[in-house]
């Protein structure tokens, strides 16, 4: 485990405490698509502190009024647009006016030390001299280290018993083991571990948070949750979108870095972790960290990569990845990954976890599917039942949110004939859906100092350690091309077929 293991967690409060939120990358994509809509949603739910100040920092010309107008226009443009994450019927103008009144703007270059004097002055002017401040890095990852260092040099990260200073760091957190270790080191030169909130937005998804509650608040499944009863686990994050306007980023990243050591491993840790001793940040994060330390580095023969070619996704013609803007015409960057992962622990020895993610696939499905072992005895031999189908527990993350259980029943009638059926629980049938872009809980948790849903230095380093052999191996060779709109490359089927297993259908989303 990394020697950066924290000795303390942030000081936790019962409700959000007065704070300034300084957003680096104020005019950027993340701010307008997710961070500000989340702040607005928190405001409408009265979940922001009574006293709050929003301070935007960016290179663009502008002032507080221009920044507020830009954000308001963005929010407006999302209204009624079903494909945006910000799904509200209308903007509550009173709420927006109150938020806009707290805004100020600092123009400048993040790499120049002078900027940080201006940021300090803006914090003081907003009434937070010696007060609580969140620094949100909604910026390109190459600036994370610089911003943290400069904040430290300007004295802005100093905290004491009377106030806190916290930094939110987005992904990608490094691009391999070495860079992740280096980035942690740079951050920890200016900050304590308890000040750093490394976001993985998958943990903002309701159903992902619900996994722990499902497992540990119900005695029913936990006795089955081990190698004696579970055959294997499939974790899928299939997307219909392509790389869109992110060709440059994707060429340097690829599906493995973009999705696996962060989002997919996060899901895996939620399913595989041991019950925590307590439900606080230390208890939960220690258990998750154990999963990463007990995963052996991946073997190249357990990894499959693919890249989308031209095809049709949900009725629309799509170009090949190599024809996307800012993508090399002979690029070997993968847009699809399938992996077989093991966990060397008493509970999971011998149980494969199959992970897959890809772009331009047939359907959008994010889910965790747990396949139970067949019944131990061939009780039905000599009847009409030739084969038993599998028992699955499926945790639907998106687009549906819920759980479903697949099992066998006897078909009504005189003969013994079995039929597979399913029992479904959908969140929307039981709970009112609040507008959410998925960042609300995470921001709220930063404000109250709850680090449970954030990654610790040792967790990110260990996750990179697991995938590093594949990163090394894939510097050579080529991905298998799959047509856009398919379920992935054939190699991914073979990865399971060698042990007689099959991926779940991407159609089976309900």
Q: Is the distance from CB of 235 to CB of 353 less than 8 angstroms?
A: yes
Q: Give me the least distance between CB of 393 and ligand BG6, in Å please.
A: 21
Cα 461 to Cα 1: distance, rounded to the nearest angstrom: 9
The one catalytic residue among 72, 201, 232, 263? 263
Residues 363-402 that bind ligand BG6 (CB under 6 A): 366
344 contact partners, CB below 8 Å, separation of at least 6? 294, 295, 296
What is the bridge-based pairing of β-strands 392-398 and 402-410?
antiparallel
Q: Give me the least distance between CB of 203 and ligand BG6, in Å please.
A: 11
Phi, psi of 464 (to 5 degrees): -65, -35
Assess 141 for contact with ligand BG6 (CB under 6 A).
no
Sketch the per residue contact string, 150 through 189, with ligand BG6: x for CB under 6 A, - otherwise: ---------------------x------------------
CA 206 from chain centre, in angstroms, equals 11
Cα 331 to Cα 335: distance, rounded to the nearest angstrom: 11
- Cβ proximity to ligand BG6, 189 vs 244, nearer residue: 244
Q: Give me the least distance between CB of 354 and ligand BG6, in Å please.
A: 18
Sequence-separated contacts (24+) of 44-48 with Cβ below 8 Å: 44/92, 44/95, 44/435, 45/434, 45/440, 47/16, 47/440, 47/444, 48/16, 48/447
Residues 244-273 that bind ligand BG6 (CB under 6 A): 258
- Cβ proximity to ligand BG6, 190 vs 366, nearer residue: 366
- Cβ proximity to ligand BG6, 171 vs 305, nearer residue: 171
Q: If we measure between CA atoms, which residue out of 136, 127, 209 comes closest to residue 168? A: 136
Q: Is the distance from CB of 37 to CB of 437 less than 8 angstroms?
A: yes
CA 112 from chain centre, in angstroms, equals 31
Q: Give me the least distance between CB of 366 and ligand BG6, in Å please.
A: 6
Q: Give me the least distance between CB of 404 and ligand BG6, in Å please.
A: 20
> Which of helix, strand or coil describes residue 195?
helix
Cα 41 to Cα 92: distance, rounded to the nearest angstrom: 10
Active site residue 263: yes
Q: Is the distance from CB of 88 to CB of 138 less than 8 angstroms?
A: no
- Cβ proximity to ligand BG6, 258 vs 461, nearer residue: 258
Cα 423 to Cα 406: distance, rounded to the nearest angstrom: 7
- Cβ proximity to ligand BG6, 237 vs 481, nearer residue: 237
Could you say which of 58, 141, 239, 324 contacts ligand BG6 (CB under 6 A)?
239
- Cβ proximity to ligand BG6, 247 vs 276, nearer residue: 247
- Residues that bind ligand BG6 (rule: CB under 6 A) add up to a total of 4
Q: Give me the least distance between CB of 424 and ligand BG6, in Å please.
A: 21
Residues 327-366 that bind ligand BG6 (CB under 6 A): 366
Cα 123 to Cα 402: distance, rounded to the nearest angstrom: 42
Q: Give me the least distance between CB of 259 and ligand BG6, in Å please.
A: 6
Strand partners, 425: 403
Q: Which residue is nearest to ligand BG6 (CB)?
A: 258
- Cβ proximity to ligand BG6, 216 vs 249, nearer residue: 249
Binding site for ligand BG6 (CB under 6 A): 171, 239, 258, 366
Which amino acids are annotated catalytic?
A: 263
């Amino acid at each position: 485990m990394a020697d950066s293991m924290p000795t303390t967690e942030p000081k936790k409060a019962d409700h959000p405490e007065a704070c300034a939120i300084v957003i680096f990358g104020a005019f950027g994509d993340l701010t307008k698509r997710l961070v500000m809509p989340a702040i607005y949603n928190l405001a409408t739910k009265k979940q922001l502190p009574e006293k709050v100040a929003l301070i935007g920092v960016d290179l663009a010309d502008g002032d507080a009024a221009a920044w507020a107008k830009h954000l308001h226009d963005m929010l407006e443009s999302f209204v009624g647009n079903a494909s945006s994450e910000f799904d509200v019927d209308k903007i509550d103008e009173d709420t927006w006016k109150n938020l806009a009144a707290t805004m100020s703007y600092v123009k400048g270059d993040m790499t120049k030390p002078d900027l940080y004097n201006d940021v300090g002055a803006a914090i003081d002017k907003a009434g937070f001299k010696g007060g609580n401040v969140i620094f949100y890095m909604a910026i390109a990852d190459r600036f994370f280290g610089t911003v943290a260092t400069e904040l430290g040099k300007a004295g802005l990260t100093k905290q004491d018993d009377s106030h806190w200073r916290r930094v939110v760091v987005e992904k990608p957190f490094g691009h391999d083991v070495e860079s992740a270790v280096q980035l942690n080191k740079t951050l920890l030169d200016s900050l304590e571990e308890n000040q750093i909130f490394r976001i993985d937005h998958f943990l903002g998804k309701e159903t992902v948070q619900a996994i722990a509650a499902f497992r540990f608040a119900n005695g029913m499944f936990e006795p089955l949750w081990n190698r004696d009863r579970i055959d294997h686990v499939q974790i899928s994050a299939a997307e219909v979108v392509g790389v869109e306007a992110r060709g440059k980023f994707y060429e340097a990243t690829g599906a493995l870095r973009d999705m696996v050591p962060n989002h997919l491993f996060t899901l895996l840790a939620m399913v595989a972790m041991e019950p925590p001793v307590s439900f606080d940040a230390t208890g939960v994060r220690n258990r998750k960290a154990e999963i990463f330390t007990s995963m052996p580095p991946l073997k190249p023969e357990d990894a499959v990569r693919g890249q989308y070619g031209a095809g049709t996704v949900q009725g629309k013609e799509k170009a090949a990845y190599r024809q996307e803007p800012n993508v090399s015409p002979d690029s070997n960057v993968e847009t699809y990954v399938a992996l077989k992962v093991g966990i060397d622990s008493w509970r999971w020895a011998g149980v494969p976890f199959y992970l897959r993610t890809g772009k331009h696939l047939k359907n959008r499905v994010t889910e965790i599917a747990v396949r139970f072992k067949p019944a131990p005895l061939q009780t039905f031999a000599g009847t009409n039942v030739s084969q038993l189908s599998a028992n699955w527990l499926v945790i639907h993350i998106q687009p549906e949110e819920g759980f479903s259980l697949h099992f066998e029943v006897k078909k009504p009638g005189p003969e013994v004939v079995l039929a597979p059926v399913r029992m479904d629980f959908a969140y929307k049938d039981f709970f009112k859906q609040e507008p959410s872009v998925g960042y609300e809980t995470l921001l709220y948790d930063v404000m109250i100092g709850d680090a449970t849903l954030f990654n610790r230095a040792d967790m990110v380093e260990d996750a990179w350690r697991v995938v590093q052999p594949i990163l090394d191996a894939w510097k050579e060779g080529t991905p298998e091309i799959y047509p856009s709109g398919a379920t992935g490359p054939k190699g991914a089927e073979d990865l399971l077929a060698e042990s007689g297993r099959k991926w779940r259908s991407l159609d089976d989303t309900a």
